[in-house]
Amino acid sequence: MKNSALLAGLIVFTLCLAGCKPETPKVVSVDISVQLYSEGAPLAIEGVPVTLSNSEATVSFNGITDATGSASFNVSPGSYTASTTYKTVEDGIRIVLNGSNSLILVTEAPSAPFRIDLQKVQSQQLIIKELYTGGCPLNDNSNYTRNDHYVIIYNNSEFEADASDLVFGAISPYNAHSNNNKYYVSGGLVYENENWLPAGGAMWYFPNEVKIPAYSQIVIAIFAAIDHTATVSASVNLSDPSYYWMANTSIPAFTHQKHAVSESIPKDHYLYGYQINQQTAWTLSDSSPAFFIAKMKHSELEALCTNTSAYDFTGGATAIGWAVKLPKANVIGAVEVFAAANLATSHPRFTSDVNTGYVVMTVGKGRSVYRNVDKEATEALPENAGKLVYNYSLGTADEGGSTDPSGIDAEASIAAGAHIIYSQTNDSGKDFHQRKIVSLKK
């Protein structure tokens, strides 16, 4: 009897275990839609690709708009960013409609369509082709940085461009991953809906006339315009007489370091600058700059930078954190860079009507951020027949970075006599990629 009772008890216990086994949590998925908007009204365009990415940028979903301009997705609850780019032609001018929404919060409850407000971007003649700030290896234990930075400005058209009124600078804070608790509050920039951007440190200009021929470029040494390869072989030679130089010797308060310049750089290739805050040097982030080019007359720039009523004091009460309120209307190009090592704590500094997205860069390996080729526009140029070089291999997608989706090797194609038209969507993540070897190291 005892054995029978014990057996019965075991059977009941086993059945209880089987019946009491916790159920597998049910995976919830939610149907949502994303609607395109332009100039405040729904944009009914069919066939536009829309990408939806989670907040960690580890998972993405692709959708296509229907005839109403709406794209549908089925996703789990969470935070997402939706982005899209649409290219068209109006009156013979290439137009890009570009936008993103990083504040998409999906819950289990039904929701109204989320929206992406698209900004219309007309092709600019003068663009940032390449920005090199991350430095290169010095030895096994350290890197060579803050000396050999440069930027390349390119004429992205078939007509000569006047660069005489170009202005160069960076948006505060200097790093995307630090000191932005004053500017990036509750998920957004405090100046998102304003007509200005906080330009910090200094802004630079050409004191002389500068013309750039069609499909050509100029190289500007940001700090030391010397042959850096003489002491660091992995670096770059910035002493070419055709190059330009941001002469920090023109700002008396910049006493921390007066950068060297080669005698081969003509004095009429020197840029001059106006100091904005009271630091002893201009800081351009090694890891994550928000770099811009703008167009402004010298007299207007001087008035802006020397009039404290035009300043923004959000960055701090002391003069070290001051910035100037740069009018958005003057900005013609921008690149937002996030450091690969600090993505989780990085935030944008450009507002969405100036630039959306970011390009990731690894510091100290000789990488640069280089603009992607507009494949369709470049292949459409009749003079490029037989001159374009494909199978581009200098991207960094194989090591967690990015590459040019066009597959065109721009520098090799230029060497073969081709004319390159580069991408312009005002989305740094779509316009730029991380390049393994800077273009000046040919």
Which candidate, 70, 69, 127, places its Cα nearest to that of 94? 127
Which candidate, 290, 282, 406, places its Cα nearest to that of 346? 290
Query: 122 - beta bridge partners?
Result: 95
What fold does the segment set 30-122 form as a domain? Answer: Immunoglobulin-like (2.60.40)
Q: Cβ-count burial of 193 within 10 angstroms (0-12 exposed, 13-18 middle, 19+ buried)?
A: exposed
Whether 122 shows a pLDDT value over 90: the answer reads no
Q: Cβ-count burial of 290 within 10 angstroms (0-12 exposed, 13-18 middle, 19+ buried)?
A: buried
pTM here?
0.83
Convert the pLDDT of each residue in 240-292 to its tens digit. Answer: 999 999 998 888 888 888 899 999 999 999 999 999 888 888 889 999 999 99
DSSP code for 309: G
Which candidate, 244, 242, 56, places its Cα nearest to that of 164? 244
- Amino acid in position 128: I
Q: Report which secondary-structure segment, H or E, holds 291.
A: strand 290-295
Spans of all domains in the chain: 30-122, 129-332
Whether 12 shows a pLDDT value over 80: the answer reads no
Residue 295, token pair as written in the block? 């167009």
Convert the pLDDT of each residue in 147-175 to its tens digit. Answer: 999 999 999 999 999 999 999 999 999 99
Mean pLDDT, to the nearest integer, of 347-365? 95
Q: Is the Cβ–Cβ distance between 65 and 73 less than 8 Å?
A: no
DSSP code for 96: E
Report the alpha-carbon angle 392-394-397, nearest 5. 95
Residue 440: pLDDT band (50, 70, 90) is very high
